[in-house]
A = this chain, B = another copy of it.
Amino acid sequence: MIGHDVFPVEPWGVREKRLDLGLIAETESVFALANGHLGMRGNLDEGEPRGASGTYLGGVYESYPLEYGEIGYGFPEDGQAVVDVTDGKIIRLLVEDEPLDVHRGCLDEHERHLDFRTGVLDRTLRWTSQAGRSVRVRSRRLVSFEQRSVAVIRYEIEVDDGEPLRVAVQSALLANQAPQERANVDPRSASELKNVLEPCLSTQHDHRVVLAHRTRRSRIALAVGMDHEIEVEDHPKSLTQVDEDLGRVTVSALLEPGKPLVLTKYLSYHWSSQQSVEWLRDQVDASLESALAEGFDGLLARQRRSLDAWWTVADIELDGDPELQQGLRFALFQMLQSAARAETQPIPGKGLTGSGYDGHAFWDTEAFVLPVLTYARPDLVRHALRWRHDTLPQARERARLLGLRGAAFPWRTIHGEECSGYWPAGTAAFHVNAAIADAVRRYVMATDDRAFERDHGAELLVETARLWSSLGHHGHDGRFRIDGVTGPDEYSALVDDNVYTNLMAQSNLLAAADAAERHVDVARELRVHDEEIATWRTAAHAMYVPWDERLGVHPQDQDFLQHARWDFEGTPAEDYPLLLSHPYFALYRTQVVKQADLVLALFKRGDAFTLEQKRRDFEYYEGITVRDSSLSAGIQAVIAAEVGHLDLAHDYLAEATLTDLRDLRGDSANGLHIASLAGAITAITSGFGGLRDHGDRLDFSPRLPERLPRLSFPIVWRGLRLCVEITPTEACYSLDACEPGEGDEDADEPVMTLSHWGEVFQLRPGQEARRGIEPAPKDLRRPLQPEGRAPRRRGQDD
């Protein structure tokens, strides 16, 4: 847990005023900088003390053999783990003969500040050595959104007392750092592979060093370079050294008070599984030249412009809860950091902020992150789906191995192969395929990007539809059933007719049928015949959705409600998360829900339920949902808001939003919970904003809890920017005017069709519409959560 006092509430950044070594790993995650291609944990410049040093490149992994106590056919043979690549963040300082080390001497002042508008991590400190000499250091670090391979660090040292002082600054590239020893064996943390980088090449020239390596088993080549600008009045003495795993520039200078030494370190990271290291080295040198040409201030300015553009399409304004305002902007900032330049590489569950979950991407990306990006930066969604498309060969092979048709995308992966070492919670979670299809459908609907649909989307839809078609079967009553799969709730597994899975498969089948009919040429190429399309439609229409007449609610899966209820009363608080203190066996066979599953269906397939069903279902599942997954709270917020439990929605919104800024799950040290943060944003847009996108149109049913007087957020839709502003009694929908001269003069003026609480209307650019909002029903009793698992009530203890 990170205490409330660690990061003071402010609207546009995260600030830390005291260095707490007990939170070193957690703050490394919070202060991580990334652009989707390159990620750097917020390690101290001097590299130590540290929780985990981390520099990651999207898509760079090492493979390793997966071991099994008892192997079974089709169990994945190889794991993949994100690699902590060559560390370019390190800048060590020697004050006279003493290293600046926060463990030694005295850290008189300390501040770190991450600014969401500049994208810069600032650190300032005043440190007094054991010999009693004081220096001030200011470092500014950024990972560029504009030049994806580039990071830059400006490091400034000033003497803070009367006498001149000799300092030596050592700027390093360091490969194959040994990981910190760890005691815990939490399955959610990372595999620790050591010494995975095989040296290939190392060069130096003046203050430039380039090191190239290759991963030993996965054979990925990477090259990393650094160059430096040094500004100091004294004529500095410098030395550049290079070794297989180390590049180092040491600069020594005598500093007069008031005359700082400024070292600007430019870094570039390139990798490839195809190109030679020599090619990569050339790329690194070229990128460094461009970065030097741009200069620190140039990079700073371009970073600012990138972020200005982001906030225009993404910023949420939430009045009445400044802590959440901060948290939501943190969440939005992380969306950009994880996806901006990921391009055709995966967006991992932790982004590039830590090695948790081995750096794998899961269904979270498509189910949580992409819906947020769709309405802000759809181009990033297109890239992310291109990555999935690129992995179709692996997914087809996996389906074949499993005896299925089409494509079976992996539960967890970096390179596209299934890496789950426990199939009941991995391979069996086929719903990942429907999440991918749903992301395709949403992207195409929100952008009308028919070229993408033709070239990539249709194939993803067709191959996943084929998977569902072979996964399910028509029972004796003709209904289409999907047996033996695992839904989102990982406290149940290998169930028949998981409602979420069945309903998502239904959409997937229909979306594929529609796409195949729209793109006959693609269909022909994929050998989709009319009969196959007909089987998809038949299966979709016959899809079985179990219903419990006795309780009047939907069972999570066919048998779920027949199971005994988990003994919540007999479960002490320290047993949570249950997966760390109870066997799967006990969890699977009882009514206990790790994370929204049926409730997720109420959201993602809200069109398949009546409001009354949603309310009853939500209230039932509230009583057995323990939220041992960070993916849960945001979704519970959405449905709580829809069915009228607005304060509860606010509570869940807070839990999702503050996941990492307060380390609510106790594992932010391993990296941020990107999908949970996406869930927080969804709790705003789809929860209080009531946004739904089941069809070809955006529908809004906004409503605010009493404590929140105003909310606004933008929505990008087919090139237009809609601004939604909500107050307790009214919603205002305004469409930005088109830029003058934009588009063809003769073209039809664009128009957006949307609905407010079921009333459909149209907006043209520059127009706005105001609509009233009815208050929520007053007589609803707040549903009860399992013993000890109620969310913290917002506003009561804050």
- Which A positions have Cβ atoms within 8 angstroms of B? 66-76, 79, 185, 187, 401-403, 420-428, 473, 475-476, 481, 483-485, 493-494, 496, 550, 558-559, 562-564, 579-586, 588-590
Contact between B72 and A475, CB atoms less than 8 A apart: no
Contact between A69 and B422, CB atoms less than 8 A apart: yes
Which residue of chain B lies nearest to A358 when distances are taken between CB atoms in the complex?
Answer: B70
In-complex Cβ contact of A72 among B402, B422, B550 (8 A): B422
For the complex of A and B, the 4 pairs showing the least CB-CB separation, nearest first, are: A69-B421, A484-B589, A67-B67, A74-B583
Which residue of chain B lies nearest to A579 when distances are taken between CB atoms in the complex?
Answer: B73
Q: Apart from A68-B422, A74-B585, list 16 A-B contacts with CB within 8 A.
A: A67-B68, A70-B421, A72-B579, A72-B583, A73-B584, A424-B424, A427-B583, A427-B585, A428-B585, A473-B563, A473-B564, A484-B585, A494-B588, A496-B562, A496-B563, A558-B559
What are some 16 contacts across the A-B interface (CB < 8 A)?
Answer: A66-B69, A69-B79, A72-B422, A73-B582, A73-B583, A73-B584, A74-B583, A74-B584, A75-B583, A428-B585, A473-B563, A483-B589, A483-B590, A484-B588, A494-B494, A494-B588
Bound Cα distance from A589 to B582, whole angstroms: 25
Bound Cα distance from A586 to B73, whole angstroms: 11
B-chain residues with CB within 8 Å of residue A590 when the two chains form the complex: 483-484
B-chain residues with CB within 8 Å of residue A493 when the two chains form the complex: 494
Centre residue among A67, A70, A79, A590 by max chain B CB count within 10 A: A70
B-chain residues with CB within 8 Å of residue A423 when the two chains form the complex: 583-585
Q: How far is the CB of A94 from chain B (nearest CB, A)?
A: 44
B-chain residues with CB within 8 Å of residue A187 when the two chains form the complex: 70-72
Q: How far is the CB of A487 from chain B (nearest CB, A)?
A: 14
Bound Cα distance from A550 to B477, whole angstroms: 11
Which residue of chain B lies nearest to A471 when distances are taken between CB atoms in the complex?
Answer: B589
B-chain residues with CB within 8 Å of residue A79 when the two chains form the complex: 69
Bound Cα distance from A550 to B475, whole angstroms: 13
Contact between A421 and B583, CB atoms less than 8 A apart: no
Contact between B562 and A559, CB atoms less than 8 A apart: no
B-chain residues with CB within 8 Å of residue A589 when the two chains form the complex: 483-485, 494, 496
Bound Cα distance from A329 to B425, whole angstroms: 48
Given the contacts A559-B496, A564-B473, A586-B403, A73 and B581 also touching, CB distance less than 8 Å: yes
In-complex Cβ contact of A69 among B67, B424, B476 (8 A): B67
Centre residue among A403, A483, A494, A585 by max chain B CB count within 10 A: A585
Q: How far is the CB of A410 from chain B (nearest CB, A)?
A: 13
Bound Cα distance from A140 to B787, whole angstroms: 72
Contact between B562 and A481, CB atoms less than 8 A apart: yes
Bound Cα distance from A579 to B585, whole angstroms: 22
Contact between A483 and B562, CB atoms less than 8 A apart: yes
Contact between B70 and A422, CB atoms less than 8 A apart: yes
Which residue of chain B lies nearest to A473 when distances are taken between CB atoms in the complex?
Answer: B564
B-chain residues with CB within 8 Å of residue A71 when the two chains form the complex: 185, 187
Q: How far is the CB of A573 from chain B (nearest CB, A)?
A: 17
Bound Cα distance from A417 to B589, whole angstroms: 23
Which residue of chain B lies nearest to A479 when distances are taken between CB atoms in the complex?
Answer: B562
Q: How far is the CB of A667 from chain B (nearest CB, A)?
A: 16
Bound Cα distance from A580 to B74, whole angstroms: 9
Bound Cα distance from A421 to B420, whole angstroms: 16
Centre residue among A69, A71, A428, A473 by max chain B CB count within 10 A: A69
B-chain residues with CB within 8 Å of residue A427 when the two chains form the complex: 583, 585
Which residue of chain B lies nearest to A77 when distances are taken between CB atoms in the complex?
Answer: B69
B-chain residues with CB within 8 Å of residue A66 when the two chains form the complex: 69
Bound Cα distance from A493 to B584, whole angstroms: 13
Q: How far is the CB of A78 from chain B (nearest CB, A)?
A: 10
B-chain residues with CB within 8 Å of residue A74 when the two chains form the complex: 582-585
Bound Cα distance from A426 to B69, whole angstroms: 11
Bound Cα distance from A72 to B188, whole angstroms: 10
Bound Cα distance from A650 to B758, whole angstroms: 72
B-chain residues with CB within 8 Å of residue A579 when the two chains form the complex: 72-73
B-chain residues with CB within 8 Å of residue A76 when the two chains form the complex: 69
Q: How far is the CB of A355 from chain B (nearest CB, A)?
A: 15
Given the contacts A424-B424, A483-B563, A494-B494, A585 and B402 also touching, CB distance less than 8 Å: yes
Bound Cα distance from A401 to B582, whole angstroms: 8
Centre residue among A66, A427, A583 by max chain B CB count within 10 A: A583
Bound Cα distance from A24 to B74, whole angstroms: 31
Which residue of chain B lies nearest to A584 when distances are taken between CB atoms in the complex?
Answer: B72
Q: How far is the CB of A418 from chain B (nearest CB, A)?
A: 11
Bound Cα distance from A475 to B185, whole angstroms: 37
Q: How far is the CB of A741 from chain B (nearest CB, A)?
A: 57
B-chain residues with CB within 8 Å of residue A73 when the two chains form the complex: 579-584
Contact between A75 and B69, CB atoms less than 8 A apart: yes
Bound Cα distance from A425 to B589, whole angstroms: 15
Contact between B582 and A403, CB atoms less than 8 A apart: yes
Which residue of chain B lies nearest to A74 when distances are taken between CB atoms in the complex?
Answer: B583
B-chain residues with CB within 8 Å of residue A494 when the two chains form the complex: 424, 493-494, 588-589
Bound Cα distance from A231 to B588, whole angstroms: 69
Bound Cα distance from A79 to B68, whole angstroms: 11
B-chain residues with CB within 8 Å of residue A483 when the two chains form the complex: 559, 562-564, 589-590
B-chain residues with CB within 8 Å of residue A420 when the two chains form the complex: 69-70
Centre residue among A68, A484, A494, A588 by max chain B CB count within 10 A: A484
Bound Cα distance from A401 to B584, whole angstroms: 12
Bound Cα distance from A82 to B693, whole angstroms: 61
Q: How far is the CB of A538 from chain B (nearest CB, A)?
A: 16
Bound Cα distance from A369 to B291, whole angstroms: 77
Q: How far is the CB of A451 from chain B (nearest CB, A)?
A: 36
B-chain residues with CB within 8 Å of residue A485 when the two chains form the complex: 589
Q: How far is the CB of A46 from chain B (nearest CB, A)?
A: 35
Which residue of chain B lies nearest to A494 when distances are taken between CB atoms in the complex?
Answer: B494
Contact between A476 and B185, CB atoms less than 8 A apart: no
B-chain residues with CB within 8 Å of residue A75 when the two chains form the complex: 69, 583
Bound Cα distance from A582 to B484, whole angstroms: 15
Bound Cα distance from A239 to B562, whole angstroms: 75
B-chain residues with CB within 8 Å of residue A580 when the two chains form the complex: 73
Bound Cα distance from A589 to B72, whole angstroms: 16
Q: How far is the CB of A483 from chain B (nearest CB, A)?
A: 4
Bound Cα distance from A584 to B73, whole angstroms: 7
Q: How far is the CB of A105 from chain B (nearest CB, A)?
A: 42
Given the contacts A72-B422, A79-B69, A187-B70, A475 and B562 also touching, CB distance less than 8 Å: yes
Bound Cα distance from A496 to B583, whole angstroms: 17
Q: How far is the CB of A196 from chain B (nearest CB, A)?
A: 18
B-chain residues with CB within 8 Å of residue A185 when the two chains form the complex: 71
Which residue of chain B lies nearest to A67 when distances are taken between CB atoms in the complex?
Answer: B67
Q: How far is the CB of A191 from chain B (nearest CB, A)?
A: 10
B-chain residues with CB within 8 Å of residue A581 when the two chains form the complex: 73
B-chain residues with CB within 8 Å of residue A484 when the two chains form the complex: 563, 585, 588-590
Bound Cα distance from A74 to B485, whole angstroms: 23
B-chain residues with CB within 8 Å of residue A588 when the two chains form the complex: 484, 494
B-chain residues with CB within 8 Å of residue A425 when the two chains form the complex: 70
B-chain residues with CB within 8 Å of residue A496 when the two chains form the complex: 559, 562-563, 589
Given the contacts A494-B493, A494-B494, A421 and B585 also touching, CB distance less than 8 Å: no
Bound Cα distance from A423 to B558, whole angstroms: 23
Centre residue among A401, A403, A550, A590 by max chain B CB count within 10 A: A403
Q: How far is the CB of A641 from chain B (nearest CB, A)?
A: 32
Bound Cα distance from A563 to B484, whole angstroms: 9
Which residue of chain B lies nearest to A562 when distances are taken between CB atoms in the complex?
Answer: B475
Q: How far is the CB of A427 from chain B (nearest CB, A)?
A: 6
